[in-house]
Each structure stands twice: as C-alpha cells, then as structure tokens.
Structure 1
Amino acid sequence: MTYCVGMMLDRGLVVMSDTRTNAGVDNISKFRKMATWEQPGERVLTVMTAGNLATTQAMVSLLDERSKAPEDRAPSIFAVPSMFQAAQLVADTLKDVISSHADEGQKADAGFNATVILAGQIKGAAPRLFLIYPQGNFIEASTDTPFFQIGEAKYGKPILVRAYDPKMSFDEAIKLLLVSFDSTIKANLSVGMPLDVMTYETDSFKIGSQTRIEADNEYFQQISNGWGEALKTALDSLPNYQSES
C-alpha cells in the first residue's frame, strides 16, 4: 500500500508521496513513487503511483525510456502537445503494462493493478491534475474536486476536506499535507517515511522545490507532536456528553 496526494492551488500544484512498500510486516522496503520530467520553459510533468510495484516501475521506466530516445519520440511525454494527451499517454502505457501481465488481455488480474496521479503544465494551457485508473480511463481535478488521493486515502482525507483552501501558499499546503500523512502513518503500517514532496508554480515551467522529508526531520516532528496535542486540546474544549441516567 502507499499514500500519495496531488493538490491544485491558485498558485500552482503541490504533490506528496510516501516511500513504503511491503509484502507483510516482516518485509518492508522503500521505493520512490514520484517521477518527474522537466523541459525548462516548456513543460513540467509529475506522476505518483500506487499499486503493484512491478507494474508502476515498468510504466515509469517505459515513459522515461521513450523520453530519452530521439528516434522514438512519437510516444514521448515530451512530445505530446497537451496535458490531456499526456494523461492519455500515461493511461495507455499503464493499461499496456497491466495487460502484458494478464491472462486475458485488458482483463488484468487485480494483483497487477495500479493507479496514477499526473500533475503538471504544458506551455499554452493552465496546470492540470489527473487521476488515472488501471483500466486506462481517467478524471480531471476541478474547483469542486481540487485534490486527488491514491493508496491508503481514508485516514488522511478528513483534514484535507476540512482545511483545504485554494489560496494557500505552498508552505501552508505542505503543512496540511504533512498532517494528512502523519494521520495516515499512525493508522496504517503500510504507509511510511520518508516523504517526497514537490511544488510547481503556475507558468514557471520549472520544478519549484523538490524535497525528501525523513522520519527524524525536525519540522515533521513538530507537526506530528503539535497536531496530536492540538487534537487533545480541542477534544477537551468540547462539552461532555450528558447521559440521560
């Protein structure tokens, strides 16, 4: 399992992913689940993945290999003219990888499935955010649905729903995401540190900041401890239930 979030802000995009993969409590590993392609002045695209590790690594490797082969640029993520077509390329690549492991073509076994968040901007249009399903279809974020989660989403969603504001700065958004991830990590062993985070400012066409946050990061510890204390304080401030007896 994993946990990844892509979020749209008025200022741009912020994405965050964990790095834990496991096949049981005694077999835990770390793998990067975020991949980024940058063409300064032209485009920045980032994918985050959740699901079967072999499937997601094969998909990212295919996309990356095609981006580095000038003689085979037609399917390249650097060649597509729009974010919609980039989403279609990622979706088709994911579907092809899944079907290659399946017994019945596109009817892939659930064990090979994966989901993807694609975020970025290509010159000539606004930044866009997509959620791509293993079947090869996808949906786009909007003002009604300004962020996407994949993986173990349920524990970290309540704070996002309550506190998200499109006018947030990148620093404020990262703080919110760290609370969401901390809540998830505490509730589920299949999500874990370190966390990868990247920001992208609209029309910059370059990566804003790209950071890995380790478990012993001082700021993360302040967020984790402070959020726990704030919850206890908030609970104590609420009126007690009055039993009818």
Structure 2
Amino acid sequence: MTYCVGMKLNRGLVFMSDTRTNAGLDNIASFKKMHTWEVPGDRVITLLTAGNLATTQAVISLLDERRKAPEDRNPSVLEAPSMFQIAGIVGEVLKDTILANANVGQKSDSSFNATLIVGGQIKGMPPRIFMVYPEGNFVEASEDTPFFQIGETKYGKPILVRAYDPDMGFEEVIKLLLVSYDSTIKSNLSVGLPLDVMTYETDSFVIGHQIRITETNPHYKAISDNWSDALREAFVSLPDFEF
C-alpha cells in the first residue's frame, strides 16, 4: 500500500508521496513513487503511483522508453499536445500492462492493479491533474474536487477536506500535507517515510522545489509532535457530553 496526493492551488500544483512498499510485515522496502518529466519552457509532468509495484514500474519504464527511443516516441508524454492526451496515454499503458500480466483478462480485484495520479502543465494551457484508474479511464480535478488521493487515503483525508484553501501558498500546503501523512503513518504500517515532495508554479514550465523528507527532518518532527498536542488540547476544550 502507499499514500499519494496531487493537489491544485491557485498558485500551481503540489505533489507528495510516501515510499513504503511491503509484502508482509517482514518484507518492507522503499521505492520511489513520484516520477517527473520536464522540457524547460514547454512542459512539466508528474506521475504518482499506487498499487502493484511490478505494474507501476513497468508503466514508468514504458513511458521512459517512449521518451528515449526515436522509433517508440509515438505517442510520447513529451510530445502529446495536451495534458488530457497525456492522461489518455498513461491510461492506455496502464491498462495494457495489467492485461498483459493478468491470468484471465482484466478484473477489478486483480492483484496486478494500480491507480495513478498524473498532473502538470503544457505551454499555452492551464495546469491540470488527473486520476487514472486500472481500466485506463480517468477523471480530472476541478474546483469541487481540487485534489486526488490514491492508496491508503482514509486516515489523511479529513484534515485535507477541512483545511484546504486554493489560495494557500506552497509552504502552508506542505504543512497541511505533512499533518495528513503523519495521521496516516500513525494509523497504518503500510505507509511510511521518507516522503517525496514536489511543487510546480503555474506558467514556470520548470520543476519547482523537489525534496525528500526523512524521519529526522526537524519540520516533520515538530509538526508531528505539535499536532498531537493540539489535538489533545482541542479535545479537552470541547464541552462534555451530558445525559
């Protein structure tokens, strides 16, 4: 399992992912789940992955091959004219990869399944984020649904729903996401540090801040400790229930 978030702001886009992959309590490893492609001045594309590791690695490898090999560049995420078409390319690659590994066709509960978030901006168009399903279809983030989560989403969603504001700056949003991840990490062993973070400023067409947050990061430790204290204080301040 994993936990990834892609979020739209008035200022741009923010992406965060954990790195934990496990096949049981005694088989835990870390793998990067955030992947980026950049053509400075033209486009920036970010892909977050959740699901079967072999499937997601195959999808990334196939997209990379189309970027590198001239004979395999069509269709390529670096040449597609819109983010909508890029989401379609990613969806087709994901669907074909799942079908190629499934025993008897595609099933919704296939162990080869994966779900992806793809977002970015192409010159002349606004930033966009899509969630791509195992079947290859996808939906787009909107004003009503300004962020997508994939993987282990239930523990970290409440804080995002309550506190998200499209006018937030990158620093404030990363703080919000760290609270969301801290709640998830404390509740589910299948999500864990380090966390990968990337910001993208609208119309910059270059990757913004791209950092990895480890368990020794002082900001993460301070947020984790202070959030726990703040929750206790908020709980104590609530009126007692009366029969």
Identify the TM-score tier after normalising by the shorter chain. Answer: over 0.9
- Tell me the SS of whatever aligns to 1:223: helix
Displacement after TM superposition at 1:105 (Å): 3.5
Hey, what does 1:228 align to over in structure 2?
228
Ranges in structure 1 where 5+ consecutive residues have no aligned partner? none
Matching of residue 19 in structure 1 with residue 19 in structure 2: yes
Q: Is the 8 A contact 1:102 1:108 kept in 2?
A: no
Q: Is the 8 A contact 1:63 1:77 kept in 2?
A: yes
Ranges in structure 2 where 5+ consecutive residues have no aligned partner? none
Hey, what does 1:69 align to over in structure 2?
69
Hey, what does 2:54 align to over in structure 1?
54
Q: Deviations over 1:76-132 (max 9, x none)?
A: 111100000000000000001000001234447610000000010011110000000
Displacement after TM superposition at 1:171 (Å): 0.3
Q: Deviations over 1:188-218 (max 9, x none)?
A: 0000000000000000000001000001111
Note the aligned Cα RMSD (angstroms).
0.9
Hey, what does 2:90 align to over in structure 1?
90
Q: Is the 8 A contact 1:22 1:190 kept in 2?
A: yes
Give the TM-score of the pair, scaled to structure 2.
0.98
Aligned residues: 243
Hey, what does 1:180 align to over in structure 2?
180
- Looking at structure 2, the residues matched to 108 and 76 of structure 1 have their Cα atoms a distance apart, in angstroms, of 27
Which structure 1 residue ranges, 4+ long, deviate > 2 Å from structure 2? 103-109
Give the TM-score of the pair, scaled to structure 1.
0.97
Q: Is the 8 A contact 1:67 1:73 kept in 2?
A: yes
Q: Is the 8 A contact 2:34 2:196 kept in 1?
A: yes
1:20 maps to a residue whose letter is R
- Tell me the SS of whatever aligns to 1:112: coil
Hey, what does 1:3 align to over in structure 2?
3
Displacement after TM superposition at 1:70 (Å): 2.3
Q: Is the 8 A contact 1:5 1:147 kept in 2?
A: yes
- Looking at structure 1, the residues matched to 67 and 2 of structure 2 have their Cα atoms a distance apart, in angstroms, of 26
Hey, what does 1:136 align to over in structure 2?
136
Q: Deviations over 1:139-171 (max 9, x none)?
A: 000000000000000000000000000000000
